[in-house]
Every structure is written in C-alpha cells, then in structure tokens.
Amino acid sequence: MRLDGAVSNNFTSNHLTSNHVASLSAGAPLGDPRLDLRDLYVFPSPADPSRTVLALTANPEGGALHPDAVYRLAIDHSGDLRNDIAFSFVYSPPVDGRQRVDLYHAVGNEASAVAAVGSRIFGEIEVSFGETIHAMRSGGFMFFAGTRSDPCFADPDGSGRDSRADANVIAMVVELPTSYLGANPDCRVWARCSLLRDGEWIHADRVGHPSLSGILTTEDTVAEYSAGAPSRDRERWMGQLIDVMGRLGGYTREEAIEAINAEGTLPDVLTYNPSKPARYPNGRTLTDDAIGYRMAFLTKGKRPSSGLTPHTDILPEFPYLGAPH
C-alpha cells in the first residue's frame, strides 16, 4: 500500500499502524510514550462464544506504564455516548523492573469519573513483562496486563513488508460475559488515558477506531482531539473527515456523510453488536485488516489490499495476543 501525496499529508507510517506517533519523542502524548495508546479490540472469546474480550494496547517503548495515569476502557450501552460501564487500570511505580496493576470496575454515574473509582475487582496483579502470563479470574471476569506481540499488521510504505511483524505492545485484556455489555442490540466501546499532574487531570490520549486521529488531526490539533469526548466528535471533526474523503476518494459531501453514517466512523468509538459476526467495523478482532479497510474506505475502494496476512502467533486461549518478541 503506497501512499500518494494527498494521503501522505495526513498519514505517516506511525499513524497507519497505531493511534499516535510511537517513539521516545515530543510526538507522544504530552511528550511521554507511556501515555500513548495504540489500538482497541472487541471480539467474542475464541474459547467461549458466550463471552467477549476487550483488549487495549499501549506503546511499550517507555517501559512500565505511568503510575500517575488512569488507563480506561469505557462502554456505552444506552446510546447517549456516556459511560455506562468503565474498567480503569492503575499501575504502581515500577521497582527493579517489576510493576503491579489494579483494575477498578465502575457503573452508572461513577463510570464517567476521571479518577479510578468503583470496585477494585483485581488488586496488586503482577504485570507480565516476559513470556510468563499472569492472568487472573474473579467471578465472571478475567484480566491480564503485560507485554505481548502486536497483532496489528500494515504495509504503510508499499514495500510488501509488515511494519509491525516484530513489534510488541503493552496489553490490557478483560474478558467478561457478553450479556454484561448490555448491548441492545449493540454497544459502543472506547478507551482513554488520563494523567494526574500537579493536582489536575489531563486527558492525554484516546482511541476507538484504528488510525482515525491520524486522519483528522495535525500536530496543532491532536491534543485537542485526545482531550475531547465522543459526544462532540461529529460537531467538531465531521468537516475534516468529509474533506479528507473528498480529496482521497472523490466523495461528494452527501456520499461522505452517507458512508460515515453507515460505518459509524464518528463518533470515534467501536460499535459492537454481539449478535452479528465480529469483523471490523463491528468490533475488531486480532486478525482484522483494519488498516487496509481504512484506506479502502477513505479512497472509495481505489486502494488495493496490501496482501498481508494476520500474524500467526495469535493464541486460542486467554489473553489471545501472542508472546512478546
């Protein structure tokens, strides 16, 4: 998949393969790669189709995740784009290369809090920085946090090579009964990373659809996007998305709006209907060619498939992402 000039104005290889620039540089949220979210996945458990897996990945290049941050998975099942359920991950300061994590579960009004509130359903869990899997179960919930192989695959420069073939991520994986999502018939899932700095919460990053922030933002607006909420996405970013689709795919305004509404591109949340087959954009599985899908969407099918295939290290059992490289 080689990018022409128009595409290159809005895409870099990092934008195509992750939510934000992934490097130890000022390009990371707040200049800190520990706050850089990568991808969000929602899919039925391969081991038990009555259960659903929520997986959030983050940039591993900063080492252990930030002890003053809250990493959150949020679920809206009522259709008002307010959090009805939230899972918040809070990490301890790393000591001698080791780190622990707590998982909080909040519902109702508490699910919209920035701080980690609600019930602590997992506490002091060892983060897996090697091949050993420290997975835990409590009631109907399963949980894992640690370094894993990145399931995302992409060929942003048209070289025919998978730029993520040997990449790792830090994964936060929750598995739960599908009925708990409250999908009626669907639900919306998104993720956020917020940092407590000098007594004030700062929204550092967020992710729903793969690569969407890279499509819509520039260096001057990415912080605004990251700090925003899905409820305002259509008002703030619809014009930019229509413009990109017009330039890259020749869409008319009416065609672009129709395509955006059909896919659910804005607001920037993954929509998941568990009664339908899981395949992006209905959720996102670990083997979906989401980057290829996005390019085809933007160009109205003018971009051919990269020909890449999913990674072969996906596991049939929890936590499903392969062992780290």
Q: What pLDDT, in 10s, does the model give residues 306-317?
A: 789 999 999 999
User: Residue 194 has which token pair?
Assistant: 């917020």
Question: Rounded CA gap, 279 and 238, in Å?
Answer: 24
Distance CA 123, CA 102 (A): 4
For residues 4-15, average pLDDT: 39
Mean pLDDT estimate for the chain? 91
Express as a percent the part of the chain with pLDDT over 90: 85
Contacts of 286 (CB under 8 A, 6+ apart): 41, 43, 55, 151, 310, 311, 314, 320, 321
Which of residues 98 and 9 earns the better pLDDT score?
Answer: 98
Say if CB 56 and CB 36 are below 8 A apart: no
pTM of the model: 0.93
Q: Which residue has the higher pLDDT, 6 or 129?
A: 129
Q: How far apart are CA 15 and CA 261, in angstroms?
A: 23
State how far Cα 109 lies from the chain centre. Answer: 23
3-state secondary structure of 82: coil
Q: How far, in Å, CA of 130 to CA of 53, rounded?
A: 22
Contacts of 269 (CB under 8 A, 6+ apart): 76, 81, 188, 189, 190, 208, 209, 230
How large is the average pLDDT for residues 176-185?
A: 97
